[in-house]
Amino acid sequence: MRRFEELAWSETPRGEISLRRRIEPTLTVDVYEVKLGDEFLMSSLFTVAEIELARLGLARAKGEQLDVVVGGLGLGCTAKAALEDPRVSSVLVVDAMPEVIDWHERELLPDAPAVVRDERTRLLLGNFFELAASEHGFDPDEPGRLHDAVLLDIDHTPHHLLHPDHAPFYSVDGLQRLRAHLRPGGVFAMWSDDPPDADFCALLEQVFDEVEAHVVAFDNFLAGGQSSNTVYVAV
């Protein structure tokens, strides 16, 4: 039995990106992993917090017919979880890497069919941070469109960024520009690999009325014991 299979590989301006599937011998399950250069970006073994990002964020959203933006497609976990909320009428997923969108359109990932076959889904090739900072917002087909929730999972943490160009977003001005694309009472939720950051919470509190930092614990099958991520929710 093959224990490792490279499903896709591409050269990008940020380095080599690859999608691979392997058998985890301790669990005998298929594990899907994404690498960018020498850095592991994500693993299907650890998706609890990405799913909770959608659930915790949308739990604070009010009303029906919710319009949702997901920043970062990744393995599709957050988008799929958002689509499972029956109040959601549209999910616009923004990703800067055409390779990742291609993987989903080719249904190379387990959650891809549930995402791409849902008529409420649109996959948009674009820079989330540039769109957030723009006056026109996230939807190029409807400039100025407002959304009920924005769910972000791109950088590792507010301080450990995939690219230095993302840094202006993590400021009062950057977050105010984002909030301008939300309807009144709209929700911004964000995943982070670090424990709750008091400085980032204080930053959010300068822009939003209510801020929560949820610690999401999950079993770490490789290291043993539990690990955790943080989901910030701001309204």
Half-sphere exposure of 86 (CA within 13 A, CB side): 0
Both tokens of 233, joined, read: 């929710």
Q: Quick one: pLDDT at residue 38? A: 77
Query: Which pLDDT does position 2 carry in this prediction?
Result: 58
pLDDT reading at 223 higher than 80: no
pTM of the model: 0.94
Query: Which range in 17-26, 179-188, 213-222 is most confidently predicted, on average pLDDT?
Result: 179-188
pLDDT, tens digit (0-9, with 9 covering 90-100), for 120-145: 999 999 999 999 999 999 999 999 99
Given this structure, which CATH class describes domain 47-234? Answer: alpha beta
pLDDT value for 45? 85
46-55: per-residue pLDDT in tens?
Answer: 899 999 999 9
Mean per-residue pLDDT, 96-113: 96
For residue 1, pLDDT over 70 is answered with: no
Q: Indicate the pLDDT class of residue 173, thresholds 50, 70 and 90.
A: very high
Would the pLDDT of 12 be above 90?
no
Structure tokens at 214: 């949820």
Strand partners, 215: 230
